[in-house]
Structure 1
Amino acid sequence: MESGRTTLRVIILSWEYPPHIIGEMAWYVRELARRLKKEGVEVYVLTYAPSEEKTDVDEGVVIKRVKPPITVTTNIVVWSLLFTTRLQAVAANLIYKLGSFDVVDAHEWITVDAALALKDRFEIPFVYTIHSLEKHRSASSATPLNIAIESVEELGCREAECIVVNSEWMKSEVTSKVSGVASKIRVVEPYTERWLEGVLKAYRSV
């Protein structure tokens, strides 16, 4: 935390946030961001813009909605790289304007590349929140696309200072896929009394 600032400042990266809803992650990220804000954390969410780029404020949480320069691509990996390139630019502008951030919390593999860039360029500790793994989302894990996504998931696990999962089962799934990361995994069950406490402990551990 930079000199003179007493509040935790966090960037949350998520390609889902209401009204852009693909699954449960959209609601998870919104509720987490709101709870963090109520706890006094300075929260900025960078997420996908289904239409034009804009900035919203949701119960005190600053939401920056961004979109890749090209929206039609050959596959989700290419799209994610274009999207995260734009995330990096918007995040960098925030940092130049506001000063340093204490944590970047990347949700799912799609935002890993942006988190790594912010970690490398600005030395912001990287927390990787895993909601699911490619082997759970796909009927097959043998295609080049599946393998590419799994490689990003593994990279995120290895490069993150802390990994947040929602259950002991998910922890076992991660450790069965990626060796040597068990010690930095924190199990934090969402929507419980200790949810926020667990996330804040993860943030403050890095």
Structure 2
Amino acid sequence: MQILVLAWEFPPRIIGGISRHVAELYPEVVKLGHHIHLVTVEVTGEKGHEVVDGIEVYRVPVRDGGDFFEWVANMNSSMLDRASQLINDRTQPFDAIHAHDWLVGDAAIALSQNFRLPLLATIHATEYGRCNGIHSDSQNYVHHKEISLAKSAARVIVCTKYMQGEVERALGCSTDKTDIVNNGLSLERMQRSHSDDFDPEALHLKYAQPDEAIVYYVGRITYEKGIYILLNAVPKILAAMSDKVKFVIIGTGDAYSILLQRQAWDLGIHHKVTFTGFMSDRDLSMLQTIASCAVFPSLYEPFGIVALESFAAGVPVVVSDTGGLPEVVENGVTGIVTHVNDSDSLAAGILEVLQNPDRAEKLVKNAQKELRDRFSWQKLAIETEAVYTRVISESKLAKE
């Protein structure tokens, strides 16, 4: 099969989870014997056309816009021009178009209509879910772009059963039209980022005293990630652990980070919490080797790839029971699942890990087996291939 893919981010351009999803899924699809042509946004210093892990990558320039939405419109215009040129220049036609999220929807829909190619869309998250409803003109704009993409697509791929329900509720996309293909994790990427060339004791001292456990959160610093709930849980955890715990908050989000730091100060725990800002994969990998627990107290989470990354790193995981997280983390088996927006429940879950090292070790062992069995990209590529096969077959039948 010849598949034309549109995605607004691809390494080394990493903005959210789409970049790594695309970069790790498609090499496995290529290994199945298919051809992937990816149109994405240019990156300074990177070639306009190159082959990356078997993927034909085409990077397009995008004119700066007056605001983000104008920039997105310019990106779609550039993608449409480049992809149309690709289609017209080829002797072997494309079989389908695969669009990742609303940002590339306009170009994908136009290409599908102009060249009569079946369109698939992966909806990684919705504006309705991220914002707990639609409350502004800008949110409404994105929301209707998502509805348009879902309506135009022959099939819609989502990452969890939760997201299947969300695209039906928010976008009016029937479950009959959706396919669930989980996100995965590249163990090779995790191994590449790992380094044994460091002093664990010295690193531990950077964040905590030798007798203090380290609990970390990693991800975007935004309201929907529920970090304020973790901070509210900290006093309860410290009281139960004789103050022998430090907390490390990793990620970017300057404006909201300031509010969280103020919260930590007001709670009297600022000396127990470190906000690191951005952290490289290598530095995160080293921190994970000395950490006792990873916490993801999200209010909204379509999937939760960070939980898989902690699985791979061998760190026991505590999450909230929101979105797709309970589908990724099985309570009491591969991690601890707590009540969403409940600091008492979150504190109890973290203490269960910290106070029961044998239990924590068993959770890690089960999680790493789950990672190999359920979340390998090889398995998920086969599931994606099946969606392609169905869409292309149904398109051919419709044309006959």
TM-score, length basis structure 2: 0.47
Is 1:190 the counterpart of 2:190? The answer is no
Is 1:181 the counterpart of 2:366? The answer is no
1:91 aligned residue: 83
Listed as ranges, the gaps of 5+ residues in structure 2 are 185-374, 392-400
Is 1:36 the counterpart of 2:29? The answer is yes
2:104 aligned residue: 111
2:5 aligned residue: 12
Separation of aligned partners in 2, 1:161 and 1:133 = 18
Which deviations, in whole Å up to 9, do the C-alpha atoms of 1:159-190 show, x marking residues without a partner? 10000000000001110113352211000112
Is 1:80 the counterpart of 2:69? The answer is no
Q: Which has the larger radius of gyration?
A: 2
Separation of aligned partners in 1, 2:71 and 2:131 = 18
RMSD of Structure 2 on Structure 1 (CA): 1.6
Deviation at 1:104, TM superposition (A): 0.6
TM-score, length basis structure 1: 0.90
Listed as ranges, the gaps of 5+ residues in structure 1 are 1-7
Q: Aligned pair in 2 of structure 1 residues 46, 72: CA closer, same or farther (>3 Å)?
A: same
Asked if 2 retains the 8 angstrom alpha-carbon contact of 1:103 and 1:127, the reply is: yes
SS at match of 1:72: coil
Asked if 1 retains the 8 angstrom alpha-carbon contact of 2:48 and 2:58, the reply is: yes
Deviating beyond 4 angstroms after TM superposition, the runs of 4 or more aligned structure 1 residues are none
2:154 aligned residue: 161
Q: Choose between structure 1 and 2: higher helix proportion.
A: 2
SS at match of 2:117: coil
Could you tell me which of 124, 128, 138 is aligned with 2:121?
128
Asked if 2 retains the 8 angstrom alpha-carbon contact of 1:45 and 1:64, the reply is: yes
Q: Percent identity?
A: 25
The correspondence of residues 21-32 of structure 1 with structure 2, limited to 5 A, is 21-32=14-25
Deviation at 1:73, TM superposition (A): 2.2
Asked if 2 retains the 8 angstrom alpha-carbon contact of 1:77 and 1:149, the reply is: no
Separation of aligned partners in 1, 2:131 and 2:74 = 22
Which deviations, in whole Å up to 9, do the C-alpha atoms of 1:133-154 show, x marking residues without a partner? 1123347621111100000000
1:100 aligned residue: 93
Asked if 1 retains the 8 angstrom alpha-carbon contact of 2:167 and 2:173, the reply is: no
Is 1:55 the counterpart of 2:49? The answer is yes
Separation of aligned partners in 2, 1:160 and 1:9 = 17
SS at match of 1:33: helix
Deviation at 1:55, TM superposition (A): 0.8
Q: Which has the higher contact order (CA 8 A, sep 6+)?
A: 1
Q: Which amino acid aligns with 2:130?
A: R
Asked if 1 retains the 8 angstrom alpha-carbon contact of 2:2 and 2:96, the reply is: yes
The correspondence of residues 141-156 of structure 1 with structure 2, limited to 5 A, is 141-156=134-149
Asked if 1 retains the 8 angstrom alpha-carbon contact of 2:72 and 2:103, the reply is: yes
Deviation at 1:24, TM superposition (A): 1.6
Which deviations, in whole Å up to 9, do the C-alpha atoms of 1:24-74 show, x marking residues without a partner? 211100111111111111111111113377112112211101122x21322
Q: Aligned pair in 2 of structure 1 residues 180, 140: CA closer, same or farther (>3 Å)?
A: closer
Separation of aligned partners in 1, 2:133 and 2:9 = 24
Which deviations, in whole Å up to 9, do the C-alpha atoms of 1:84-109 show, x marking residues without a partner? 11101111111111142111100010
SS at match of 1:205: helix
2:385 aligned residue: 200
SS at match of 1:118: helix
SS at match of 1:142: coil
Separation of aligned partners in 2, 1:65 and 1:171 = 31
Asked if 1 retains the 8 angstrom alpha-carbon contact of 2:129 and 2:166, the reply is: no
Deviation at 1:123, TM superposition (A): 0.7
Q: How many residues align?
A: 197
Separation of aligned partners in 2, 1:67 and 1:195 = 31
Separation of aligned partners in 1, 2:166 and 2:132 = 16
